[in-house]
Structure 1
Amino acid sequence: MEDLLASTVPPGTVVSGEIYESGPLAAPTHGNVYPEPFIVHPVTPHTYTIILLHGRGSNGPKFGAQFIGTNTSTGKKLPEIFPSAKWIFPTAKKRRAVIFKRIPIHQWFDVYDIDNRSYKEHLQVDGLQETTQMLHGLIEEEVMNGIPRERIVLGGLSQGCAASMYAMLCYDLRLGGYVGMCGWLPYAKYVEDILGTSPDEEDDEDADVFGESDDEEGANPKTKGEIDKDHEEGEGTKGPIVEAISFLRENISFPRVHDKPLVLQTPAFLGHGALDEKVRFNLGEQARDVLNGLGFEVTWKGYDDLGHWYKIPDEIDHISEFLTGVLGPG
C-alpha cells in the first residue's frame, strides 16, 4: 500500500488513517466498528469535506489513492484543484457474501444478483442500515467540526455509489452535493412504482406498494419546475415522493418522513460507462430517473467507450466542474 500511495498521491498531500467508531450520532443497531478510513487532509484552511465509498471487494486506501492520484485534462489532480477539501474514503466492514459461499469480503451490503434484484433482496437490508448509520454519523462529525452540511459531498463508485445514494435519500437535510460513478439504487423498482414512473406501469391503481392512491400527483413524473412550485405553494405532506422516501427509510428501520426532506434539494452528478459489464448502463439510467422523479437536480454523463470504472480524464474533469459549480472554487 505504501508503494501505491507514493506513486499516486500528489507530493505534499497529508494523509492519515483513523479508527472510525460509530457512536451515539450513528446509533448502530449492533456493535459497529469500521476499519480505518483513508483521509486526505486539506493543505489550506478546511472549508468542505468530500466522502466517497469504494466498490465491493476494494477498500478505502486503495480506491482513495487511485482516485485522488488521477489527473484531469489539465494535468492537475483533484486535491490540487480543491486544496481546502478534506477527502474521506471509508472502508466497508467485511461481510459474508452469499454468492461467494459466504466468504467474508469488504462490502457495504450483501447482494446476490443486481440484475435480478427481486431475488434474495432481503440480503441488502442489514448492510444498508449499518452503512447509512455510519455515513450519517460521519456527516454529523464533520458538522460538529465546523463544516456546514451544504459543504459536504457524498458519493461513491459501484456498490459504494449504491450504498451512499441510499444513505443520502435517508438523510433529512440538504447536502452540498452527491457524486455517483457506475452505480445503481437499491430497491429502485419500488420507488418507481410508488412515484408512478415505472416503465412497466399501466395505470394500475394497485401498483402502489402501500396500497393507496395519491390522486393525480403520481400519474406522471413531475418536472423540476413543478416540484419547486409545490414547495413554494406549501403542498400537503401526503404524496408519492413522501411515500417513496418513507419506504426507503422504513426498509432499514428508520422513521417515516411527514414532508419532503430538504435532502431532495441536493445537486447530484451521475456518470456511467455504456460498456459496463458489472453494473449495466440501464441501471445507472434508472437511478438517474428515480432521482429526477424525486426532484433532484441531476447532472448525467454517459461514456460510450467506458466499462466499469471512471473515465479518465473526461469524468474526472466533469466531477471537478460539478464540484466547482456546487461548492465554488477550491
Structure 2
Amino acid sequence: MDPETPSETDTLAGTTPPEQVKYPNPFIVTPTTPHTHTIILLHGRGSNGPKFGTEFITSPTSTGATLQTTLPFAKWIFPTAKKRRAVLFKRIPINQWFDIYDINNQSYREHLQVDGLQETTELVHTLIEEEIRSGIPAERIVVGGLSQGCAASLYAMLCYKRRIGGYIGMCGWLPFAKYVEGCLGISLSEGDPGDDMFETLDDEESPGFFEKSDESNGNEGERAKNPTMEAIGFLKDNISFPISDDDRLEVLQTPVFLGHGALDEKVQFRLGEQARDALKGLGFKVTWEGYDDLGHWYKIPEEIDHIKEFLTNTLGIQSSD
C-alpha cells in the first residue's frame, strides 16, 4: 500500500546546501522493444520509486498480463522523492514530494506545500525535457502518480508549457484547488457547510501569503480576462514559476485519467471528484473512474485495465495482449 509513515532521518530539504538534498536516481524500467513512449509516475508519501514501480508494472490486467508486457515499447521512470521533514510526524524526514499537515483539510498551514511543489515541478519538467532531447516527442510522454505523487505530478503537469501524451492519477487530489475554483468563478467542493475543507488561512503562520504582488509581468490584463489563464497563472505564481507572455496553454489538450476508491481512508473520495471537476472546468478531457469497494490504492485488475485502455486509446497505440 501507500505508507504515510516516517522513516530514517536525513537533512532538512530547503535549509541545507543543494548538493545535500539532490533527488535519488530514478528507478527506470527499459523497454523490451524499440523505445517509442515514456511514462513517468510518482510514488506516494513514505514510499520510493523502486518499491512503487516494481509493484505497479507487475500488477496484472484481467487477462493476467502486466502493463510492462502489454506496453513493451514504453520506458517507465519512477523517481524517488527527497527526504523532507514532515510537520505531521514531529519533523521526522520521510520521502515526500511536499510537506502537508492534513490532506483532507489542506487550508490549514497550506503554505507548507509550496517549496516541495516548486522543486517537484522542476524535477518533473526536467525529466520530460530529458526524454524530449533523447528523441521522444512530448505527445508520447505520459506523467502521473499515486496519492501524493498524483497531487504533485498533477500540479507539475498544469504548469508545463505544452501538451503531453497523457496524465494518469490514482487516489490523489489537486493542491490549492480552491484557488482554481475561485479563478473559474465556480464552486466544485460544495458539501456539508460544517465540514468545509477550505477554512480561512492561519494568519499567524502565513500573513498575506496569497496577496498579489505589485510587480507586473506584462500579461496580467489578459489573465484577468481569461479565467483559465488566471487559474494556471495562480498555480505558477504560487510556486514562483515563470509565466510566459505567449503561453497558449497547450497543456489543456492533454488527455487525463483519474481513478479513486470510494472507501479511500487517506484521501477522501470528494477530493478526487474535486480534482476531476477542476480539470474539466479548465477544459481538460477527463476520463474518470470511481471504484465502490476500493480504499487507498489502485484497483486490480479493473483499474489496471482502465489505465491500459486509456493509454492505448489516447496514444493511438496497440497493446501486445
TM-score band (shorter)? 0.7 to 0.9
Structure 1 contact 245–257 (Cα < 8 Å) conserved? no
Deviations 1:251-306 (A, max 9, x none): 00012354541001000000000000000000000000000001000000000000
Structure 2 contact 262–291 (Cα < 8 Å) conserved? yes
Partner of 2:132: 143
Aligned match for 1:265, one of 208, 232, 253: 253
Aligned match for 2:70, one of 61, 81, 84: 81
Answer yes or no: is 1:247 the counterpart of 2:259. no
Answer yes or no: is 1:107 the counterpart of 2:88. no
Aligned match for 2:183, one of 194, 211, 222: 194
Partner of 2:169: 180
One-letter code aligned to 1:245: I
Quote how far apart the aligned CAs of 1:116 are: 1.4
1: distance between equivalents of 2:279 and 2:233?
15
Deviations 1:61-99 (A, max 9, x none): 000000011100011000111000000000000000001
Quote how far apart the aligned CAs of 1:329 are: 1.6
One-letter code aligned to 1:251: N
Structure 1 contact 180–270 (Cα < 8 Å) conserved? yes
2: distance between equivalents of 1:325 and 1:199?
28
2: distance between equivalents of 1:86 and 1:255?
29
Higher relative contact order (CA 8 A, sep 6+): 2
Answer yes or no: is 1:122 the counterpart of 2:125. no
Deviations 1:81-127 (A, max 9, x none): 10000000000000000010000000000000122111111100000
* Secondary structure at 1:114 match in 2: coil
Quote how far apart the aligned CAs of 1:210 are: 8.1
Quote how far apart the aligned CAs of 1:38 are: 1.0
One-letter code aligned to 1:304: D
Query: Unmatched 5+ residue regions in structure 2?
Result: 1-16, 191-209, 213-221
Structure 2 contact 173–271 (Cα < 8 Å) conserved? yes
* Secondary structure at 2:104 match in 1: helix
2: distance between equivalents of 1:210 and 1:245?
16
Change (3 A) 1:148 1:199: closer
Please, which moves more after superposition, 52-61 or 250-259? Answer: 250-259
The aligned length equals 271
1: distance between equivalents of 2:256 and 2:96?
23
Partner of 2:290: 302
TM-score of the two chains, using structure 1 as the length reference: 0.79
One-letter code aligned to 2:59: T
TM-score of the two chains, using structure 2 as the length reference: 0.81
Query: Unmatched 5+ residue regions in structure 1?
Result: 1-28, 202-208, 212-235
Aligned match for 1:256, one of 211, 219, 243: 243
2: distance between equivalents of 1:326 and 1:169?
18
- CA RMSD, Structure 1 to Structure 2 (Å): 1.7
1: distance between equivalents of 2:129 and 2:248?
21
